[in-house]
Amino acid sequence: MKKFVFWHIFVAALLMTSNSQAQSLKDLFNKENIEKVVNSVTGKSTASMEGTWVYTGSAIEFESDNLLQKAGGSVAANAAENKLNEQLAKVGITAGQMSFTFNADSTFTAKVGAKSLKGTYSYDASEQKANLKFMKLIPLNAKVNCTSTNMDLLFNSDKLLKLITLISSKSNSTTLKTIGSLADNYDGMMLGFSLKKE
């Protein structure tokens, strides 16, 4: 009887593995995956912000050390990301339509469609923090999750609203209120942009 059960389990395991996609060792140990593992273990990112980064979608992160809260937050984050994407699209921020270019001389340019704003920035990779200063007047602090190919630029909700108002010509009070209320629903949530390096 035990052999019979064993063979059934063995055959079922073989059938299940035929449906899964195998990754090669090359895919498993590529630069981006290694960076992700190191960053998740150390909690730090040392990748540079320099270069042109194009918007691919919204990014949301919960500021909590409680793993259970983070796990529950990830479910809420997916719903919140969809809502944020919808609201950002209303102000003209869609995939491929916004970009940030960070230069080695600590200057940057933010573009949405035809509108562009210039400023200066400072970046502390060990702390994962950036300070963006638009037109040398308006400072915005951001949390940066950066690898060599992807970057999340995250802000407190009030700072994100200020940034959207600055860089978008289509911003309206209803959309900004919706984004603001989205963040008010979740304690310790940061909102921002998911970017891919060109």
Give the model confidence (pLDDT) of 35-53 as tens digits. Answer: 555 555 545 455 789 999 9
DSSP the chain: -HHHHHHHHHHHHHHHHHHSPP--HHHHTSHHHHHHHHHHHHS-------EEEEEEEEEEEE--S-HHHHHHHHHHHHHHHHHHHHHHHHTT--TTTEEEEE-TTSEEEEEETTEEEEEEEEEETTTTEEEEEETTTEEEEEEEEE-SSEEEEEE-HHHHHHHHHHH-TT--HHHHHHHHHHHHTSTTEEEEEEEEE-
pLDDT at res. 34: 59
- What value does the mean pLDDT take over residues 105-124? 92
- For residue 173, pLDDT beyond 80: no
For residue 22, the model assigns a pLDDT of 46
Q: Is the pLDDT of residue 6 over 70?
A: no
Residue 19 confidence (pLDDT): 41
Q: How confident is the model at residue 120 (pLDDT cuts 50, 70, 90)?
A: very high
Does domain 51-197 match CATH 2.40.128?
yes
Query: Does the pLDDT of residue 143 top 90, yes or no?
Result: yes
* Residue 21 confidence (pLDDT): 45
| Structure confidence by residue, pLDDT tens digits, 69-88 | 555 656 667 777 888 898 88
